[in-house]
Amino acid sequence: MIRYFALHPTAANIMMVVFLCAGIATLPSMKRETFPDIEAFEVKVSVVYPGAAAADVEESICQPLEDATDGISFIDERRCEAKDNLGAMTLKMLELGDMQQFIDDINTAVDGIDTFPDAAEIPVVEELGRTNQVIGVAISADVGRAELKRLAEYYRERLLQHPDVPIVTVTGFSTHQLQIEIPDYNLRQYGLSVVDIADRVARQAVDLPAGDIESDRGVHQIRFTDLRRTPQQLAELIVIAGEDGAEVRLGDIATIADAFEEEEDRIVFNGRAAAILQVYKNKIDDSLVVFDAVSEFVERENRVLPEGIALSLTQDMASIVKDRLQLIVKNSWQGLLLVILALYLFFSWRYTFWVAMGLPVSFLGSFLLITWLGISINMISLVALLIAIGILMDDAIVISESIASEYQKGKAPAQAVVDGTKLVARGVLSSFVTTLLIFGGLVTLQGDIGQVLRVLPIVLISVLSVSLVEAFLILPHHLKHALERAGDDDDMPKWKQAFTRWFERRREALGRYVELAVQYRYAAVGGAIAVLLLSVAMLPTGILKFKAFPDLDGDVIQARILLPQGTALSRTEAVVAEVIAGLQATDGDLLAVEGRSLLRNINVSYNQNADAFEAGAHVATVSVDLVAAESRRSSLDTLARIWREHVGDLPGVINLQYKQPVLGPAGRALHIRLSGRDLEQLSQASYELQQWLGGYPGVVDIMDDLRPGKPQINVRMLPGTLATGISAETIATQLRGAYQGHKVDDVQFEDEDYEIEVQLDAASRDSLTDFDYLAIIHPQTRQAVPLSAIAEVTESRAFARIHRVDNLRTVSVFGDVDGDIANTGEVIDHTRVNYLPELLQRYPDVRVEFEGEVKNAAVTGQSLRFAFMLGALGIFLLLSLQFRNYLEPIIVMLAIPLALIGVIWGHLIMGLDLTMPSMIGFVSLAGIVVNDSILLVEFVKRNARAGMTVHAAACLASQQRFRAIFLTSFTTVAGVSPLLFETSLQAQVLVPLVTSIAFGIVTSTLLILIVLPAMYAILEDFGFTQIATGPESDSALDTVTGRELATPPPA
């Protein structure tokens, strides 16, 4: 195969063109995103239970759901949230399960439940994580809310007509209703209840098909239609007709209004009333394509909008994708240029060109494979390509050196490329397998962080696989032509001759250092081990800190406000005004640093707070669009800290948090779950834990998810009431209709959906003093009976939200950590050792679990350790087969811990915390640095077989391998160095990963060349080396790779 492609006049070129065209054709269809999609593996079952308190929902909805789903396979965790009017269970599936089968099993289990209350609505089962937010469109207009809603629906329909906009929802409004409100005194006067009125409205507002008439003139459809769709039409309905012909119309006894169910559900955008169209994408959609479509739509519409109406882009989650990808692409081109320049230092320009051509061919050729595997263009996949630049050069350098060596023996170009390629073929394959063993293990990474980081080894394996084909079947053909035209090259430039002389002096200096290391081999090896132990000791001592995932800086920051239940909307608005004033003061403070305002838009959403787990006039979210992260100097942590200081502690505010709307894959920095059966005990334990966590500097935004409910009025029928003809059902139904309201129908008018609802008017509904005298209408006599005459009324208070995990009640404590002040790991470890034993002693029935960042890091870390051990074991077994013993593979693998020295000190020098991406970088190093150690050991053995002492052979081997090891390491470091020194906030998430690779390779390269010969000499002292002799040993090098660069190869 190698001979065929090397000598065939067109085969190699055809293959190269196929790879290039396949990549170019595939590239436009590849999805672009910031990070790889994280599969939620979660299914949610929601059951609406109108009017029910959280405790009722827990008993009537959550517990039946738990019982029904007990036997479903592949369940990792079950969480059920019970709150007023709603029960929702989330089932998390193990990654090994099949999602469709999992959903089918849940549907079957839920369909089999027959104990739900009659008032509960039909359960809704949905898979979570199928959509992602892209951007919002704010519609600001000086019109009424009903007209604003119609505008929003109009533009929603317009947007959805665009083929690249898949999902649009309208926010800023609750359910649109035609509200029929009746005073209590009118109900008393006519002997009617709210339910009676709703029933009479429903019977008269009818739209019903009545069959067909078939006549000689054709078929005519019959339809009775008297549906009332406007307040005016509803007011004309007759609800009472007397025997004397007198009629009472609905408008005579009720007020009918076109309104919204919750008036506090509204949005203020830059000081004006607004609606927001939230645009989402499906998993398969490209966020930048969706963003471009929405941007063009807004720009086009704004040119023709009437005065007083404006469309604005807000909550932009897509531009950051473009900014980050452009940043990586820019650094990739810089890295590629540095690699080419590095190659040109050692090769002629013709060799440099064809060796470098392997990069675009391998990259583009791998895109087809990457797309087939479902990988998108994202920050992790692009960094994988950046890392691959240096790794791909390794094989190309090996093959080109071998071909040049054969050519210098006097062989013809055609014979030289065939013999040279075959000579190192087994070695290159061996090198590929060792790299594959490490990266293959990383594909098994678990957890949310693992789902993000496993893309890196998948991309690297794909690229390396294509590059192996390119190196064997395409590169030799082009090098043959280069050798045939070798005489066309000019002489080596003087600056290059000077560099070559300088490099030779460095190689000679290295030889002296290696001789000293071998002479004092025990001190050299002991010193390296001591430095390794000193480096590793920096982790438990806290000198080098660990965090699960680097901070991600977006372009949106929020202030989430929570006040006590029952707080008037006017008070919430006052708090919002103070928060915005603090924001503007913060912007003023940063003006000197930034040189301009950071604020683009300020959006206030009342009735919304993602952390409050409740809705109402007492919650609000201030969302701020900032200038792009790559063009500002201040991080979101800095902005949040100054904003928090300016606002301070506001009276009456339960919780005020400053944060990004989207978390990274690591989850919440602090998430501690308390489990038990007694909610009061859990509540007290949660309070004490929050007080403890609040004592740490840098720990902010602490709260739990247990919410005290509204004061509850309990009604119980008095003994003897049933004998009067009034049942408990009669009382409950009329109470529910009066205060919860009774839905009559859903109607559509002017392309908008409305609910028709009947209830008591606000004056009667909101008066506690009149509650005891509420008229209960006797079902037979139609007489009004005061509630206090037939029922006992008491007051209590319960929780508004109850959370259950795996059949136990839970309370979760959340918090954020300012990374400039504190470290999550240190806070958790200190709390675990110094406080939790005391807490659990006071509350022995409470169980504590760590979730969020701590759990995700533990899950991914465990799978990372397993992957590393699996890969290392595979390399050991492979090397044992090659070296035919067990000790020399250990010497070769010494490069792996030596690389850890560079990883740790690199993070200290760069001022970084050690993160999961850092560890991925270190594990990736194992597949890179081992290959150089293999060759060094082989050269030691080859020199010894030539008659040298092992000590002299070891010293000479380092000099022989210096050029090749330096070049392969230098190209890898050059490829990632632009990103290593990138100062943009956008790149900081990737800097730890490339820091591990760059510093790890530099350190391991130097220590391999010096320490490994010393270690091999120690083995010789104890007689553990095996220097084979004879013809078989001469071919041993072929088993690995022959990478000696004796002289620069010709063009």
pLDDT tens-digit readout, 479-526: 888 787 765 555 677 887 888 888 888 888 888 888 898 889 899 999
Residue linked to tokens 């795996």: 806
pLDDT of 491: 64
Q: Cα–Cα distance between 352 and 355 in angstroms, integer?
A: 5
Helix (H, G, I), strand (E, B) or coil at 178: strand
- CA–CA separation, 235 and 229 (whole Å): 11
Q: Are the C-beta atoms of 324 and 379 separated by less than 8 Å?
A: yes
Spatial distance between the Cα atoms of 844 and 841, rounded to a whole number of angstroms = 5
Residue 15: C-alpha distances to residues 11, 363, 841 (Å): 6, 14, 70
pLDDT, residue 674, reads 95
pLDDT value, residue 518: 87
Nearest to 614 by CA among 206, 1031, 989, 54: 54
CATH number of 40-128: 3.30.70.1430
Show the tokens assigned to 664: 């990274």
- Asked if 936 and 942 count as a contact pair (C-beta separation under 8 A), the reply is no
Tell me the pLDDT tens digit for each residue of 164-203. Answer: 999 999 998 888 888 899 998 888 888 888 888 888 888 8
**Cα three-residue angle 407-411-416, rounded to 5 degrees:** 55
- Residue 422's pLDDT is what? 85
pLDDT at 395 over 80: no
Q: Which of 321, 177, 186 lies closest to 744, judged by CA?
A: 177
Taking the C-alpha atoms of residue 541 and residue 559, their distance in angstroms, rounded to an integer, is 36
The mean pLDDT value for 793-807 works out to 86
Distance CA 816, CA 636 (A): 13
Q: Quick check: 363 pLDDT over 60?
A: yes
CA separation for the pair 405, 1047 (Å, rounded): 9
What would the two tokens of residue 534 be?
């000193």
DSSP 736: I
Which residues are CB-contacts of 349 (< 8 A; sequence separation ≥ 6)? Answer: 489, 1051
Ranges of beta strands (E only) in 15-74 are 42-48
In whole angstroms, how far apart are CA 125 and each of 48, 80, 119, 128?
12, 13, 18, 10
Non-local (6+) Cβ contacts of 775 within 8 A are 184, 187, 188, 193, 784, 785, 786, 787
Q: Is 1027 helix (H, G, I), strand (E, B) or coil?
A: coil
What six digits make up the tokens of 818?
């300012």
Confidence of residue 277 (pLDDT cuts 50, 70, 90): very high
Lowest mean pLDDT among 238-247, 897-906, 915-924: 238-247
Q: For residue range 554-596, what is the model confidence (pLDDT) as tens digits?
A: 788 999 999 988 888 999 999 999 999 999 999 999 988 888 8
Give the ranges where 247-318 is alpha helix by DSSP (H): 250-253, 287-302
Alpha carbon of 1003 to those of 343, 344, 507, 905: distances in Å? 21, 24, 17, 10
Instruction: Give the C-alpha separation, 81 to 46, whole Å.
Output: 9
Residue 706: CA count within 13 A, CB half-sphere: 23
Asked whether the beta carbons of 670 and 816 are under 8 A apart, the reply is yes
Report how far apart, in Å, the C-alpha atoms of 283 and of each of 98, 290, 458, 741 are: 18, 12, 19, 39
Bridge partner list, 657 = 560
Sign of CA dihedral 638, 643, 646, 650: negative
* Residue 138 backbone dihedrals phi, psi, to 5 degrees: -85, 130
Contact of 182 with 285, CB cutoff 8 Å: no
- CA 547 – CA 916 distance, rounded (Å): 8
Question: CA–CA distance from 936 to each of 96, 463, 579, 1016, 1041 (Å)?
Answer: 42, 26, 64, 10, 10
Burial tier of 457 (Cβ tally within 10 Å: 0-12, 13-18, 19+): buried
Taking Cα atoms as reference points, which of 459, 461, 454 lies closest to residue 437?
Answer: 461
Helix 494-519 vs helix 950-980: crossing angle, to nearest 10: 130
Q: Is the pLDDT of residue 983 over 80?
A: no
For residues 49 and 47, give the distance between their C-alpha atoms in angstroms, rounded to a whole number.
Answer: 6
Q: Tell me the β-bridge partners of 708.
A: 799
Q: Where are the domains of the chain?
A: 1-33+321-485+499-548+857-1022, 40-128, 184-212+222-253+710-799
Find out whether 892 and 970 touch, Cβ atoms under 8 Å. no
pLDDT of residue 599: 93
> In the predicted model, what is the mean pLDDT of residues 410-416?
86
CA distance 457 to 920: 9
State how far Cα 386 lies from the chain centre: 22
How confident is residue 1040, by pLDDT bands cut at 50, 70 and 90?
very low
Which amino acid is present at 263? E
Helix, strand, or coil (residue 651): coil
Q: Would you tell me how many other CB atoms lie within 10 Å of the CB of residue 1008?
A: 26
**309-314 and 272-282 beta bridge pairing:** unpaired
Q: Which fold has domain 184-212+222-253+710-799?
A: 3.30.2090
Within 8 A by CB and 6+ apart from 578, the residues are: 647, 650
Q: Cα separation of 880 and 144, whole Å?
A: 79
**Nearest in space to 288 (alpha carbons), one of 389, 164, 159:** 164
The yes-or-no verdict on residue 1048 having pLDDT over 50 is no
Mean pLDDT of the chain: 85
Q: Which of 42, 959, 110 is nearest to 510 (CA)?
A: 959
Q: What are phi and psi of 811, to 5 degrees?
A: -130, 125
Residue 960 in contact with residue 939, Cβ under 8 Å?
yes
> What's the pLDDT band for 692 if we cut at 50, 70, 90?
very high
Give the C-alpha separation, 712 to 818, whole Å. 39
Instruction: For residue 644, give the 3-state DSSP assignment.
Output: helix
Beta strands in 639-751, from DSSP E residues, in sequence order: 655-659, 670-676, 699-704, 707-717, 742-749
State the Cα–Cα distance between residues 811 and 707, nearest whole angstrom: 10
Angle at 229 between CA 225 and CA 235, to 5 degrees: 100
For 54, other C-beta atoms within 10 Å of its C-beta total 23
What are the Cα distances from residue 639, in Å, to 555, 795, 978? 12, 45, 28
- CATH 1.10.760.10 describes domain 1-33+321-485+499-548+857-1022: no
- Out of 145-159, 205-219, 637-651, 899-913, which region has the weakest mean confidence (pLDDT)? 205-219
CB-based contact 403:420 (threshold 8 Å): yes
- Local structure of 565: helix, strand or coil: coil
Quote the tokens at residue 478: 């082009």
- Rounded CA-CA distance 988/388 in Å is 20
The pLDDT tens digits for 838-874 are: 999 999 999 999 998 888 888 888 888 888 888 889 8
CA dihedral 577, 578, 580, 583 (to 10 degrees): 170
Share of the chain above pLDDT 70, in %: 96
CA distance 92 to 95: 9
Tell which wins on pLDDT, 978 or 310: 310
pLDDT digits (tens, 9 = 90+) for 435-449: 888 888 888 888 877
Characterize the bridge pairing of strands 176-182 and 784-786: unpaired
